[in-house]
Amino acid sequence: MTGDTQPDPVPVLILLGPPGAGKGTQARRLHETFGLVQLSTGDLLRAAVAAGTPAGKAAQTVMQAGGLVSDDIVLAVLSERLADPDCAAGVVLDGFPRTTAQAQALDEMLDRSGQRVNAAISLEVDSAGMVSRVVGRFTCGDCGEGYHDSFKPVKTTGVCDSCGGQNMTRRADDNAATVMSRLDAYHEQTAPLIAWYETRGALRRVDAMGGIDRISEDIAAVVAAQITTTSHHAEAAL
Ligand SMILES: Nc1ncnc2c1ncn2[C@@H]1O[C@H](COP(=O)(O)OP(=O)(O)O)[C@@H](O)[C@H]1O
């Protein structure tokens, strides 16, 4: 420990990139490789919608239209989840921050517990190809494995190749019209965060157009360096 009140710093990683860039897939792999907790504000909001909470009811219409949910709602669901004990292992944020105001709020939130963003990893893709990547994708609701009608079909319709589950799910907002709006929201409100983190020396760029395994390796190299740095900081503070 670094003192009576300050816990050791834990890694805080951010995945940046448009819808379809592979943030969810790569965040899941970072969980498997490094034990980092995947915090997806999209998942947290979808859970709130499914549970019919006031936040979920307010978010639902905006999500169906492909716009951005208000910072107040997003910050509330995120900070509640961040307070869970498992997040002390380190987190990978997927889909957050999405605006400069959210990035500032995150810095303030982390600052209060002596933490900081270690790296914002930008998944660099050709945006023009993202609509076809997103429309047609589906996920195993049991193990989380991702598939696509054209690019990665299952061997047996309705059955997960990975775990054998028969619980395939498709997101309501993965239709062409909503994806176009989500891409517009990304370019207008989220893409400026790339320069924002670059200015702060935290940006790491990864080419995310190749095979999933190669991309995972490139991301893992960035994360491994950050985790080493974080533990050195903790040791130096002893
Ligand atoms: N940080 C956020 N700020 C505002 N809205 C968000 C945020 N994260 C998720 N959302 C809402 O949830 C939707 C789905 O987000 P997400 O699951 O991250 O998918 P994707 O990155 O593929 O668009 C977004 O279109 C938006 O309406």
Q: What does the pLDDT look like over 6-56, one tens digit per residue?
A: 555 689 999 999 999 999 999 999 999 999 999 999 999 999 999 999 999
Q: What does the pLDDT look like over 68-118, one tens digit per residue?
A: 999 999 999 999 999 999 998 899 999 999 999 999 999 999 998 889 999
Structure tokens at 189: 């409100």
- Whether 74 lines ligand 1, by a CB cut-off of 6 Å, is yes
Nearest ligand 1 atom to alpha carbon 66: 25
Nearest CA to ligand 1 atom 9: 42
Q: What does the pLDDT look like over 124-182, one tens digit per residue?
A: 999 888 999 999 999 999 998 899 999 999 999 999 999 999 999 999 999 999 999 99
Tell me if 70 is assigned to some domain: no
Our count of domains for the chain comes to 1
Distance of CA 204 to the CA centre of its chain: 15
Domain membership of residue 167 as a residue range:
12-36+89-226
Tell me if 48 is assigned to some domain: no
The owner of tokens 């899941």 is: 28
Tell me if 158 is assigned to some domain: yes
Q: What CATH number is attached to the domain comprising 155?
A: 3.40.50.300
The stretches of 38-191 forming alpha helices (DSSP H) are 41-51, 54-65, 71-82, 100-112, 130-134, 176-185
C-alpha 232 to ligand 1 mean position (Å): 34
Tell me if 58 is assigned to some domain: no
Which residues partner with 2 through β-bridges? none
Nearest ligand 1 atom to alpha carbon 65: 27
Tell me if 2 is assigned to some domain: no
The ipTM estimated for the assembled molecules is 0.95
Tell me if 172 is assigned to some domain: yes
Report how far residue 48's alpha carbon sits from residue 187's, in angstroms, rounded to the nearest whole number: 26
Nearest CA to ligand 1 atom 20: 19
Catalytically active residues, by annotation? 23, 98, 137, 171, 182
